[in-house]
Amino acid sequence: MWEFTKRISLLRVSTVILIIFTILSISIIQQCGNKIQEGTMLNNTFIKSVIDEMENKFGKDNSKRIKTGVTQMQKFWRIEDGTPEDFEKFCFDNFIADKEIIDKSFERLEVAFENIDGLLVELNRNLQWNLQVDTGPILPVDYLTANFDLASHVDEDLYKSKVAFFILLNFKVHNLDECIKYGEKWSRRDWAETRLAQKFTARVPSDVKQEIHKAFISADNYINNYNIYMHNLLSEDGKHLFPEGLKLISHWGLRDELKAQYDKEGGFPRKRMIYEVMGKIISQEIPEVVINNPDVDWKVSTNEVYGENISSSKEPDTRYANLLKVFNAEKAADPYYPLYPTFIDRRFNMDREIPENVVKQLFVDLLTSKEFQKTGKLIEERLNRNLEPFDIWYNGFKGESVYNEDELNKIVSEKYPDVKVFEEKIPETLMKLGFDKETADFLHSKIEVDPARGAGHAMGAGRRLDKAHLRTRVPEGGMNYKGFNIAMHELGHNVEQTFSLYRIDHTLLEGVPNTAFTEAFAFMFQGRDLEILGISEKDEDKEYLKALNQLWSVCEIAGVSLVDMGVWHWMYDHPDCTPAELKNATIEIAKNVWNKYFYPVLGHKDATILAIYSHMIDAGLYLPDYPVGYIIQFQIEEYIKDKNLATEMERMCKLGSITPDYWIKQAVGESISVEPLLKSARRALKFIH
């Protein structure tokens, strides 16, 4: 289920435009000098003299603010921004001592940013319209307009126009520690000011940005072209175990096929073979010639390849060379983030806003829980054999539906013959979920439904004059059940987006802390889809199975995340390593995590399987977002379960984008915790056999 929040769409830097602009501007930048020394042209003696003189003018009462503002500006001022005299003049002309003027300036900036962000969202949506909305055949020009992206220039333009420096001079940039330490005592206005100032915590030169972009593109290409032709795999006795034409991408495709084998007769040897392939990808013992190649047979156990004039030489650690490229590109940006000097800092303290030690503890709590252990035992009984490492993808906790898919399709297609009807019925849908008529009508007036080319997505507005958009696909003859189920998910996103923009006290706090929070609401809507269709299906077993399935899969991804985190720390400790050294370290880290947390549940010492995830290579420490997201989502869903979804959701959405932990404390009355997930697994373990 993919969803477009405003933040995501703004972060999506358009490839083509970025590259063109960077190439054009590289010579200019080089002349101006783009290295970190720019900041140091304002030496500390000079800065001190500016502060002293400002204190003389504005009074000692303002000392603290002056010092904060001037040093914050110093960090980002470059030669092209002006001479030291210009710097000093700017400080004197723009430092605001008068409380009333500060208030007015803040209000105007809030309006300005609602417009900047909101108009960029709107522009972006319009330029992508023909690619995303079903408007007939796509024309070549549609791809060109879709690549036009003003957003990628906005940050630097805000520095150039000195808006950024005004903010840095007058508002304090708090780091995550301070937000956690003082945030609960701050007023909403304090929070909004903090978010305003935090827009300017970095000024990364465009050539450094371009290198990062290139490294991710290259890693992405590597991953996206890493397919295994399953028919070519030979078992020990020379048999093909998979059907002709089955081509699977690593690791998603391989993993999903492995999962599907739980439902198939004789799936065990196929699961084991996929597992073996994964191991060879991790260790890079896989013959290079079998990757993305339909023409070569490969006996996996012995690594023999069959074909004319081919070599069986191994993949030359390309997997790890790509990861290393990503690391080096991100590391080059470190000096430009004074508050977040490593990429690990940026992922945890800037993007996620949950400290790394807190995240790690959540994972350890899950992985060392009795519930994880007992669920493992239960799976062993259900499978009637000893567990294998690949059983981290056990697929058997599933309930059965009262209605089959055909029956559901019929009900849905009659009820929703086209997109227009789905839109008209939004108030009715929302009222079934517990919203009163007034709120349902209000939400309806802010959500537009468009026919999607893809499966569907939700796109929030960025300013209050705009509307959220729900994209859904309705085939000829009416909506089908799958489409309806996804549309309900997207409606959940849209309702969150609308509440957290329109009903928020400060638009600078618009939104939710991160995607986990909006996903929680989307899944709640999606999970009540049968209710909307007027089908009541109370199946307690299904709830229990869901809880166990959640726990098992969150544990799997938590283990994978610990490997990802360990590998990034290792790279920072060994910045000059070779791909081969990185490979060995990754394997060691994966084994350690396995032996510590998974071996007690699944056995098999030294399994390396946790290192197979492709996101580890091409997503830059993104993996921990999954388990953290599931944990938060579960907490919100559990809390709302026996309450009115409508009132609770509106209350929660109005909290806005404060830190995740403070948000969840106000929303459900406790910190981020794995306890609700463990509790429901505990309950389930009593009933499921």
Q: Name the minimum Å distance from CB 523 to Zn ion.
A: 8
Alpha-carbon distances of 610 from 230, 333, 439, 600, rounded to whole Å: 22, 29, 46, 15
Residue 522 or 658 having the CB closest to Zn ion:
522
- List residues binding Zn ion (CB under 5 A): 1, 3, 522
Alpha helices in 463-612 (DSSP H): 481-502, 515-527, 529-532, 540-573, 579-593, 599-602
Phi, psi angle pair for 499, to nearest 5°: -60, -45
Residue 1 or 364 having the CB closest to Zn ion:
1
Q: Name the minimum Å distance from CB 195 to Zn ion.
A: 24
Q: Are 207 and 34 in contact (CB under 8 A)?
A: yes
CA–CA distance, 258 with 271 (Å, rounded to integer): 5
CA–CA distance, 225 with 232 (Å, rounded to integer): 17
Residue 362 or 520 having the CB closest to Zn ion:
520
Alpha-carbon distances of 366 from 261, 363, 570, 681, rounded to whole Å: 27, 5, 24, 11
The DSSP symbol for 61 reads: G
CA–CA distance, 82 with 60 (Å, rounded to integer): 27
CA–CA distance, 507 with 485 (Å, rounded to integer): 31
Phi, psi angle pair for 29, to nearest 5°: -60, -40
Q: Name the minimum Å distance from CB 515 to Zn ion.
A: 8
Residue 492 or 620 having the CB closest to Zn ion:
492
CA–CA distance, 444 with 498 (Å, rounded to integer): 10
Query: Which residue in the block uniquely carries the two structure tokens 């029956």?
Result: 407
Q: Name the minimum Å distance from CB 349 to Zn ion.
A: 25
Per-residue exposure over 225-252, b if at least 16 CB sit within 10 Å of its own CB, e if not:
ebbbbbbbbbbeeeeebbeeeeebbbbe
Residue 338 or 660 having the CB closest to Zn ion:
660
CA–CA distance, 73 with 393 (Å, rounded to integer): 51
C-alpha closest to that of 3 among 661, 496, 614: 496
Q: Name the minimum Å distance from CB 496 to Zn ion.
A: 10
Residue 223 or 524 having the CB closest to Zn ion:
524
Residue 283 or 633 having the CB closest to Zn ion:
633
CA–CA distance, 587 with 608 (Å, rounded to integer): 6
Residue 1 or 688 having the CB closest to Zn ion:
1
Residue 422 or 521 having the CB closest to Zn ion:
521
C-alpha closest to that of 367 among 683, 592, 519: 592
Joined tokens for residue 521 = 């609401």
CA dihedral defined by 126, 128, 132, 138, rounded to 10 degrees?
Answer: 110
Joined tokens for residue 609 = 């399987």
Residue 124 or 515 having the CB closest to Zn ion:
515
Residue 1 or 133 having the CB closest to Zn ion:
1
Residue 289 or 522 having the CB closest to Zn ion:
522
For 606, half-sphere exposure in the C-beta direction (CA atoms, 13 angstrom radius) is 1
Q: Are 521 and 632 in contact (CB under 8 A)?
A: no
Q: Are 215 and 328 in contact (CB under 8 A)?
A: yes
CA–CA distance, 365 with 47 (Å, rounded to integer): 48
Q: Name the minimum Å distance from CB 261 to Zn ion.
A: 28
Q: Name the minimum Å distance from CB 139 to Zn ion.
A: 29
Q: Name the minimum Å distance from CB 520 to Zn ion.
A: 10
Q: Name the minimum Å distance from CB 458 to Zn ion.
A: 7
Q: Name the minimum Å distance from CB 255 to Zn ion.
A: 20
Residue 51 or 522 having the CB closest to Zn ion:
522
Q: Name the minimum Å distance from CB 352 to Zn ion.
A: 18
Q: Name the minimum Å distance from CB 518 to Zn ion.
A: 7
Q: Name the minimum Å distance from CB 491 to Zn ion.
A: 11
